[in-house]
């Protein structure tokens, strides 16, 4: 919307500030009409109109936001009240279970207002407190009983001890039936638990006192087991008779160690101990299974022992409050609704009526659901613990078996442990899920495999691999058989058995695969050193066992897997068999090579004939072909056979793939690419096998690598992409051909050219990356020549005008002549670089149209530019190799560099603008450095660079280029002036005047009409040149002062052409320069008077400040007069206060000046003069008073001080008013 506003009719000119219109140029500076500046004013007006609207909208938004926040706070208060009321009702539910319903417990009627602030509710329910007291009381009583039994009762005789424990035990066990009549379930459970604990203590007491000689006739562990068994039976019977849950838990806990304690003193072995713990686990599992059966429901009207707790837990919530809404079941419920019914049920018993004190419980109460669940959890924990111990012991029994019997026994207990674990899984997860059955089947299968393999391993220790593979094959056959014979409802069991067989197969599979890979690796190692390996003859012993194990393992894997995986198993088996069949030492030196090639050919044929799994068989063929190449490297003949066979197989596969699609096409194309990639080394091996010298063999490989682009061009169009990949790899073989050769850079350049020609034929991007990498390598090989041309001339920077350049003069030190190989290599790189920037047929159709007559096509220009840059480098290296006399190479570099800089600056920006500019800078810098050997060459070079940079500064298209031209051109002009001065042997101050003239010239040009946009850069360059001129004075007073004064005049002249807003700053800068010149001349003449330095500067500052104050009346006196007054008064004050400069005349004159300043400020109502002048007067007065005090007796200053304080005390109030009045008066000043 704002972009369519009508611009203002008048606007202030952005350059000079004059009022301009869109009808004509600016009357102040002649600038063309600026629609954007006028649009700025229109937008300012629109902004001023929109700001009040935005503020009004913001106020409305803040008001609504405040209302919303208040409503949310009110809603949270009511929700908190609801939550508090619900919590209070829940806290009293347990007490309401035994009381009849009253009106106090009923929910409030509908519409009843909730209290705004509810009180703090109870932190715990009575039920929780009661349970906590029971637990704590029971623990305390149990601890007391244990302590009494262990320590305190030793003071009684046997009869007394028996009476005490018997009475306590019977009393504890007699209390629960009585208190359960009163529905005191917690009390009954506590006393029952204590009674069962006292039974255990009774058993310990009987053993301790050796009652009836039990300690003499019974084993301690067996007696402990008997006591545990009796306690468990008693607890179970007591629970059945009385209905206490605590004795059920106690019976289950004390039953756990019964069997292990009974068998402690027996002579069973480790397998027997595993069986004992497995029996305990099986018993716990059976108990878990028995508890899973639902209990019989109690009779009508009977109250369960834990019914109140169960009803309380099962009762629906009376209210539910969350962050988004409130649903209170008892707040707004009408009579007869579900919510009201749910609330009223809290006051009734479990059977529907109120709990009465006279109700009789059943004699044998069933276990409640909560207790049953807890017993199941406890039984499961016991099962898990016993199973872990039994399984670990069974595993040790399986591992530590030293003969067939112990190994078989260990296998059986391991199988038993797996069976118990499988049964537990079956029971825990339930019969409805198939996962438990599958896991159970897998565990049993693994245990069966281990149980079968362990005795065989002990019996045949020399055939361990075969035994493990046979066991895995056996369980695999079992899995296959079960799959066919089990019904459909047990299919998950068959799947688990199959998975277990597969896991069992994971033991021999890595072993046989590792053995086959080891044989293949040793075959590769036997082929080293390459082309000079010594064959190790076959020793007559062939390793048949791993081969049979490999076949068994592969067969089992094939039988257990399904169709997609079977192809992988078959391919892997063929590869491993091909690696393992030759054995090690090999049957013959040709055996690994021949077997690899034959199997690779078969795999390749399968890949080409089958549409499925073609990539798999192609990968297998590739692995075997790679192994054949490695084992065939033992001699030139073997290598020639291997490479030739692989190349022929690849070409044959490519020929077949021309008419195929899908995976066969991909496999055939990849094989053709491999053949093309291996063609150069195949040629090298064949030539070497024929007995030809290695040099010519390498040259033959180079020729084959260079001809790779031709083979790519002749390849079928359908396989062109594969041929490009193979060609890129094949062309790289030109690099190994260069090893040991003198012209390695030429070989690398040929490789780069071949890669570039191959990349041109590619139909995808980034195909030139390999060529670019080899190009970098080629440049690295040409590093000495490039260093000679581009780095060595920089050595003249340390020997400027040393004279007598030798040879080409590129280095300031003697160097050897350059060979011609780097120059040839660089010339060979020219077409490669050109092809990277021009690829026919790959650009858009517009670029391929016929160009206008006499013009170069736009698609060809980057290629020609890149080729030209590379040719320039090659020409420079060729001149250096030809030994061109100095300064030929440096002059060519400088001319080419400056011409390139000018060309890049004058042409429109393109792809090669930045590289061309950097290359031009490099050539210019290096060429200018090479011309530093003589004075005349240096001046000529600087003059040429000055002309070139002037052209860039004036005619460059980019603004940044013009700015850089001005800055760098000024620097070169300064260097030229310095060089002329040094060549003419002028004194340094005259050289400084030359540089200052250059600065003045640049400053004058900065205000030319054609330099308007670069005026800031030109002025910065001019000031920098003036600073250089100042440094050339080397601290001499008169020359430095003259430079500062002249440059101050030049800076002052710029005020005449500067905009109005900059004139004050420029005038101040000119004044500062003149002041500096004044100071320098004073210092040079030895003037030591401080005021001679400060007063002129202060006067200049006062003049500039007064001028600024007249232009801007709103300025404070601290801004336009404060610095000047501080410069005039403060240094003199510091001098007056010192002992050396504090003469009476200086203090008198300073006081007079400060007084004049103060009076002037008071008259003109200026704050800075009044305060600064008054402060100086006050300090001077204090100083004088201090000087006078030195002449008076010591009591006088003290008396004066006392008088002053007394006067201030008397006139304190009036003094405060005076100070306030003074502060207000000062504050009203400017």
| Domain presence at residue 42 | yes
> What is the phi/psi pair of residue 320, to 5°?
-140, 120
Least confident of 412-421, 805-814, 991-1000, 1130-1139: 1130-1139
pLDDT at position 910, please? Answer: 72
Do residues 1126 and 1219 share a domain? yes
| Domain presence at residue 205 | yes
574 or 1175: whose pLDDT is higher? Answer: 574
- Cα 1046 from Cα 42, distance rounded (Å): 47
Residue 139 pLDDT > 90, yes or no? no
Task: Let me know: does 709 contact 727? Beta carbons within 8 Å.
Answer: yes
For 273-315, give the DSSP string: HHHHHHHHHHHHHHHHHHHTSPPPPPPTT---TTHHHHHHHHS
The secondary structure element, H or E, covering residue 21 is strand 19-21
SS3 28: coil
pLDDT band at 560 (very low <50, low <70, confident <90, very high): confident
Last residue of a domain, which of 221, 250, 267? 267
CA torsion 460→466→469→474, rounded to 10°? -60
Task: Let me know: does 810 contact 880? Beta carbons within 8 Å.
Answer: yes
Q: What is the mean pLDDT of residues 821-850?
A: 70
For the chain, how many structural domains are there in total?
Answer: 4
Over the range 1100-1128, which residues count as b (16 or more CB within 10 Å of their CB) and which as e?
A: bbbebbeebbeeeeeeebbebbbbbbbbb
Long-range pairs for 1178-1184: beta carbons < 8 A, 24 or more residues apart: 1179/1133, 1179/1137, 1180/1133, 1180/1136, 1180/1147, 1180/1150, 1180/1151, 1180/1154, 1183/1136, 1183/1137, 1183/1142, 1183/1147, 1184/1147
Last residue of a domain, which of 49, 77, 105? 77
Do residues 67 and 139 share a domain? no
Do residues 259 and 139 share a domain? yes
1158 or 679: whose pLDDT is higher? Answer: 679
pLDDT band at 640 (very low <50, low <70, confident <90, very high): very high
Q: What is the mean pLDDT of residues 114-126?
A: 42
- Cα 994 from Cα 556, distance rounded (Å): 98
pLDDT at position 650, please? Answer: 92
Q: Which of 1169, 1055, 1061, 1054 is nearest to 1111 (CA)?
A: 1061
Using CA atoms, how far residue 329 sits from 88, 344, 406, 515, in Å, is: 14, 11, 69, 74
pLDDT band at 89 (very low <50, low <70, confident <90, very high): low
Least confident of 116-125, 388-397, 808-817: 116-125
pLDDT band at 601 (very low <50, low <70, confident <90, very high): very high
Strand partners, 291: none
Do residues 72 and 136 share a domain? no
For 983-1017, give the DSSP string: HTT--HHHHHHHHHHHHHHHHHHTTSGGGSTTHHH
- pLDDT tens digits, 870-898: 888 899 999 988 888 888 888 999 999 99
- pLDDT tens digits, 476-524: 888 887 777 776 667 777 777 888 888 888 888 888 888 889 988 988 8
Distance of CA 314 to the CA centre of its chain: 51
Range of the domain at 1188: 1117-1227
Residue 1012 pLDDT > 80, yes or no? no
Q: What is the mean pLDDT of residues 790-802?
A: 86
CB count, 10 Å around CB of 112? 9
Residue 206 pLDDT > 50, yes or no? yes
Do residues 798 and 925 share a domain? yes
pLDDT at position 724, please? Answer: 92
| Domain presence at residue 209 | yes
10 or 628: whose pLDDT is higher? Answer: 628
Q: What is the mean pLDDT of residues 365-377?
A: 66
pLDDT at position 816, please? Answer: 80
pLDDT band at 1153 (very low <50, low <70, confident <90, very high): confident
Residue 296 pLDDT > 50, yes or no? no
- Cα 436 from Cα 124, distance rounded (Å): 42
Q: What share of the chain is helix, strand, coil (3-state, %, to 5)?
A: 75, 0, 25
pLDDT band at 1212 (very low <50, low <70, confident <90, very high): very low
> What is the phi/psi pair of residue 12, to 5°?
-75, 135
Phi-psi region of 12 (alpha: psi -120 to 50; beta: other; left: phi over 0): beta
Distance of CA 972 to the CA centre of its chain: 48
Question: Which single residue is written with the structure tokens 């000062």?
Answer: 1226
Question: Which single residue is written with the structure tokens 């010149």?
Answer: 1077
Give percent above pLDDT 70 in the chain: 77
pLDDT at position 624, please? Answer: 93
- Cα 891 from Cα 887, distance rounded (Å): 6
Range list of H helices, 151-219: 158-180, 185-209, 214-217
pLDDT band at 1172 (very low <50, low <70, confident <90, very high): confident
- pLDDT tens digits, 60-83: 888 888 888 888 888 888 887 887
- Residue 1229: both structure tokens together: 């000043």
Q: Which of 698, 763, 768 is nearest to 735 (CA)?
A: 698
pLDDT at position 110, please? Answer: 39
- Cα 224 from Cα 469, distance rounded (Å): 48
pLDDT at position 151, please? Answer: 54
pLDDT at position 130, please? Answer: 46
- pLDDT tens digits, 801-819: 887 777 788 887 778 888 8
- pLDDT tens digits, 522-554: 888 888 888 878 777 766 666 777 888 888 888
Task: Let me know: does 1072 contact 1051? Beta carbons within 8 Å.
Answer: no
Residue 755 pLDDT > 80, yes or no? yes
Do residues 71 and 144 share a domain? no
DSSP assigned state of 695: H
- pLDDT tens digits, 1106-1141: 777 777 777 677 767 777 777 777 777 777 777 555
Do residues 71 and 142 share a domain? no
pLDDT at position 743, please? Answer: 78
pLDDT band at 308 (very low <50, low <70, confident <90, very high): very low
185 or 628: whose pLDDT is higher? Answer: 628
- Residue 962: both structure tokens together: 């013009």
Q: What is the mean pLDDT of residues 792-800?
A: 86
984 or 1189: whose pLDDT is higher? Answer: 984
Q: Which of 918, 920, 921, 930 is nearest to 891 (CA)?
A: 930
434 or 312: whose pLDDT is higher? Answer: 434
Residue 359 pLDDT > 50, yes or no? no
Do residues 787 and 889 share a domain? yes
Q: What is the mean pLDDT of residues 606-617?
A: 85
Do residues 920 and 812 share a domain? yes
Q: Which of 838-852, 940-954, 977-991 is most confident? A: 940-954
Q: Which of 570, 561, 645, 554 is nearest to 607 (CA)?
A: 570
| Domain presence at residue 572 | no
pLDDT at position 402, please? Answer: 74
Do residues 53 and 170 share a domain? no
Least confident of 150-164, 192-206, 437-451, 899-913: 150-164
Residue 842 pLDDT > 50, yes or no? no
pLDDT at position 678, please? Answer: 93
Q: What is the mean pLDDT of residues 757-761?
A: 87
Which residues are CB-contacts of 549 (< 8 A; sequence separation ≥ 6)?
465, 466, 468, 469, 508, 511, 512
- Residue 642: both structure tokens together: 């291997």
Do residues 260 and 141 share a domain? yes
- pLDDT tens digits, 649-683: 999 999 888 877 877 888 888 999 999 999 999 99
> What is the phi/psi pair of residue 319, to 5°?
-155, 150
pLDDT band at 726 (very low <50, low <70, confident <90, very high): very high
DSSP assigned state of 486: S
Which residues are CB-contacts of 634 (< 8 A; sequence separation ≥ 6)?
526, 527, 528, 530, 531, 533, 535, 589
CB count, 10 Å around CB of 367? 20
Dmax (CA) for the chain in angstroms is 136
Using CA atoms, how far residue 565 sits from 322, 491, 497, 572, 709, in Å, is: 54, 21, 18, 11, 41
Q: Which of 804-808, 899-903, 911-915 is most confident? A: 899-903
Q: What's the whole-number average pLDDT of the chain?
A: 76
Do residues 39 and 172 share a domain? no
pLDDT band at 304 (very low <50, low <70, confident <90, very high): very low
Q: What is the mean pLDDT of residues 219-223?
A: 82
Residue 1 pLDDT > 60, yes or no? no
pLDDT band at 621 (very low <50, low <70, confident <90, very high): very high
Residue 573 pLDDT > 80, yes or no? yes
Last residue of a domain, which of 930, 947, 971? 930
Residue 134 pLDDT > 60, yes or no? no
- Cα 543 from Cα 549, distance rounded (Å): 11
- Cα 756 from Cα 142, distance rounded (Å): 93
Which residues are CB-contacts of 780 (< 8 A; sequence separation ≥ 6)?
none
Identify the burial level of 486 via C-beta atoms within 10 angstroms of its C-beta, where 0-12 means exposed, 13-18 middle and 19 or more buried: middle
| Domain presence at residue 127 | no
Using CA atoms, how far residue 832 sits from 677, 771, 835, in Å, is: 20, 8, 5
Residue 321 pLDDT > 70, yes or no? no
pLDDT band at 157 (very low <50, low <70, confident <90, very high): low
Give percent above pLDDT 90 in the chain: 9
Long-range pairs for 1004-1010: beta carbons < 8 A, 24 or more residues apart: 1007/1054, 1007/1057, 1010/954
Range list of H helices, 1112-1194: 1117-1120, 1122-1137, 1144-1164, 1167-1191
Provide the total of helices (H) and of strands (E) in the chain, helices listed first.
47, 4
pLDDT band at 859 (very low <50, low <70, confident <90, very high): low
Residue 642 pLDDT > 90, yes or no? yes
pLDDT at position 46, please? Answer: 85
């Amino acid at each position: 919307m704002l972009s369519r506003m009508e611009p203002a009719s008048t606007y202030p000119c952005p350059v000079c500030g004059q009022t301009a219109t869109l009808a004509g140029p600016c009357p102040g500076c002649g600038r063309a009409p600026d629609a954007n500046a006028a649009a700025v004013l229109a937008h300012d007006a629109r902004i001023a109109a929109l700001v009040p609207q935005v503020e009004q909208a913001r106020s409305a938004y803040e008001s609504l936001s405040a209302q919303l926040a208040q409503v949310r706070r009110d809603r949270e208060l009511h929700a908190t009240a609801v939550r508090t009321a619900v919590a209070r009702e829940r806290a009293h539910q347990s007490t309401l279970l035994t009381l009849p319903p009253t009106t106090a417990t009923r929910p409030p009627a509908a519409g009843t207002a909730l209290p705004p602030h509810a009180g703090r509710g109870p932190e715990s329910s009575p039920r929780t407190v009661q349970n906590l007291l029971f637990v704590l009381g029971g623990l305390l009583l149990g601890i007391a009983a244990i302590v009494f039994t262990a320590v305190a009762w030793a003071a009684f005789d046997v009869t007394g001890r028996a009476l005490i424990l018997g009475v306590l035990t019977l009393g504890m066990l007699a209390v629960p039936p009585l208190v359960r009549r009163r529905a005191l379930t917690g009390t009954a459970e506590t006393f029952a638990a204590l009674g069962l604990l006292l039974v255990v203590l009774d058993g310990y007491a009987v053993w301790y006192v050796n009652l009836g000689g039990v300690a003499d006739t019974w084993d301690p562990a067996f007696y402990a087991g008997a006591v545990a068994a009796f306690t468990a039976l008693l607890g179970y019977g007591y629970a059945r008779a009385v209905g206490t849950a605590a004795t059920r838990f106690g019976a289950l806990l004390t039953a756990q160690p019964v069997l292990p304690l009974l068998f402690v003193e027996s002579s069973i072995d480790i397998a027997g101990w595993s069986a004992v713990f497995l029996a305990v686990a099986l018993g716990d599992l059976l108990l878990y299974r028995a508890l899973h059966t639902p209990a019989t429901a109690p009779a009508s009207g009977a109250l369960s022992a834990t019914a109140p707790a169960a009803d309380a837990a099962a009762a629906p919530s009376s209210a539910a409050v969350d962050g988004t809404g409130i649903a209170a079941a008892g707040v707004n419920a009408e009579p007869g609704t579900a919510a009201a019914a749910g609330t009223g049920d809290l006051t009734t018993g479990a059977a529907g009526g109120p709990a009465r004190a006279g109700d009789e419980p059943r004699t044998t109460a069933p276990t409640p659901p909560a207790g049953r669940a807890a017993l199941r959890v406890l039984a499961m924990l016991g099962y898990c613990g016993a199973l872990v111990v039994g399984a670990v012991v069974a595993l040790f029994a399986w591992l530590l078996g030293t003969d067939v019997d112990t190994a078989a026994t260990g296998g059986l207990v391991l199988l038993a442990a797996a069976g118990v674990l499988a049964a537990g899984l079956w029971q825990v997860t339930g019969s409805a899920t198939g996962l438990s059955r599958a896991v159970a089947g897998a565990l049993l299968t693994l245990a069966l495999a281990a149980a079968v393999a362990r005795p065989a391993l002990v019996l045949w220790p020399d055939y361990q691999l075969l035994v493990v593979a046979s066991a895995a094959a056996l369980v695999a056959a079992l899995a296959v058989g079960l799959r066919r014979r089990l019904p459909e409802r047990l299919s998950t069991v068959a799947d688990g058995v199959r998975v277990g067989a597969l896991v069992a197969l994971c033991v021999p599979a890595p072993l046989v695969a590792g053995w086959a890979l080891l044989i293949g690796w040793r075959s590769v190692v036997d082929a080293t050193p390459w082309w000079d390996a010594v064959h190790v003859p076959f020793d007559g012993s062939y390793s048949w066992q791993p081969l049979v194990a490999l076949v068994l393992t592969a067969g089992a894997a094939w039988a257990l897997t399904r169709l997609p995986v079977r192809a992988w198993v078959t391919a892997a088996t063929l590869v491993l068999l091909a690696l393992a069949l030759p054995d090690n030492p090999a049957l013959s030196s040709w055996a690994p090579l021949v077997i690899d090639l034959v199997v690779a050919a078969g795999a390749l044929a399968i890949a080409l004939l089958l549409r499925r799994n073609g990539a798999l068989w192609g990968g297998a063929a590739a692995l075997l072909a790679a192994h054949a190449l490695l084992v065939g490297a033992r001699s030139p003949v073997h290598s020639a056979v291997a490479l030739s066979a692989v190349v022929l197989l690849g070409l044959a596969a490519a020929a077949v793939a021309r008419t195929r699609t899908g995976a066969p096409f991909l496999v055939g194309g990849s094989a053709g690419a491999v053949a093309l990639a291996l063609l150069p080394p195949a040629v090298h091996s064949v030539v070497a096998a024929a007995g030809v010298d290695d040099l010519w063999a390498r040259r033959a490989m180079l020729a084959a690598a260079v001809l790779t682009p031709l083979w790519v061009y002749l390849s079928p169009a359908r396989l062109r992409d594969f041929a490009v990949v193979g060609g890129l790899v094949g062309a790289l073989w030109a690099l190994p051909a260069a090893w040991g050769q003198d012209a390695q850079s030429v070989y690398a350049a040929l490789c780069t050219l071949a890669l570039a020609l191959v990349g041109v034929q590619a139909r995808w991007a980034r195909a030139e990356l390999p060529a670019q990498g080899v190009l970098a390598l080629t440049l690295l090989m040409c590093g000495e020549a490039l260093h000679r041309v581009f780095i060595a001339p920089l050595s003249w920077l340390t020997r400027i005008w040393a004279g007598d350049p030798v040879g080409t003069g590129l280095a300031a030190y003697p160097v050897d002549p350059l060979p011609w190989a780097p120059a040839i290599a660089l010339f060979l790189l020219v077409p490669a670089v050109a092809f990277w920037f021009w690829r026919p047929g790959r650009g858009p159709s517009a670029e391929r149209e016929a160009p206008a007559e006499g013009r170069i096509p736009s698609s060809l220009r980057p290629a020609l530019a890149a080729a030209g840059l590379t040719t320039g480098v090659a020409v420079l290296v060729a001149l250096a190799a030809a030994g061109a006399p100095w300064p030929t190479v440096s002059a060519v570099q400088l001319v080419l560099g400056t011409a390139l800089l000018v060309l890049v600056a004058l042409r429109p920006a393109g792809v090669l603008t930045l590289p061309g500019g950097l290359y031009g800078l490099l050539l210019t810098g290096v060429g200018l450095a090479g011309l530093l050997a003589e004075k005349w060459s240096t001046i000529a070079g600087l003059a040429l660079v000055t002309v070139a940079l002037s052209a860039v500064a004036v005619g460059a298209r980019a603004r940044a280029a013009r700015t850089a031209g001005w800055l760098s051109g000024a620097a070169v002009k300064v260097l030229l002036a310095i060089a002329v001065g040094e060549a003419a042997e002028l004194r340094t101050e005259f050289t400084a005047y030359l540089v200052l003239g250059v600065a003045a010239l640049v400053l004058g040009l900065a205000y030319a009409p054609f330099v308007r946009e670069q005026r800031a850069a030109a002025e910065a360059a001019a000031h920098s040149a003036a600073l250089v001129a100042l440094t050339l004075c080397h601290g001499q007073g008169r020359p430095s002062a003259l430079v500062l004064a002249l440059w101050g005049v030049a800076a002052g002249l710029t005020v005449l052409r500067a905009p109005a807003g900059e004139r004050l700053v420029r005038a101040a800068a000119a004044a500062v320069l003149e002041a500096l010149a004044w100071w320098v001349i004073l210092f040079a003449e030895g003037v030591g008077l401080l005021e001679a330095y400060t007063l002129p500067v202060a006067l200049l500052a006062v003049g500039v400040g007064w001028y600024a104050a007249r232009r801007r009346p709103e300025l404070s006196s601290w801004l336009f007069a404060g610095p000047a007054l501080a410069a005039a008064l403060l240094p003199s004050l510091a001098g007056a206060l010192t002992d050396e400069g504090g003469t009476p005349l200086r203090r008198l004159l300073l006081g007079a000046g400060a007084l004049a300043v103060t009076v002037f400020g008071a008259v003109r109502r200026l704050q800075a003069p009044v305060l600064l002048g008054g402060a100086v007067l006050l300090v001077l007065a204090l100083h004088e008073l201090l000087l006078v005090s030195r002449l008076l007796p010591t009591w006088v200053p003290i008396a004066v001080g006392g008088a002053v304080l007394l006067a201030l005390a008397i006139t304190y109030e009036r003094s405060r008013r005076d100070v306030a009045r003074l502060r207000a008066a000062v504050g009203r000043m400017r």
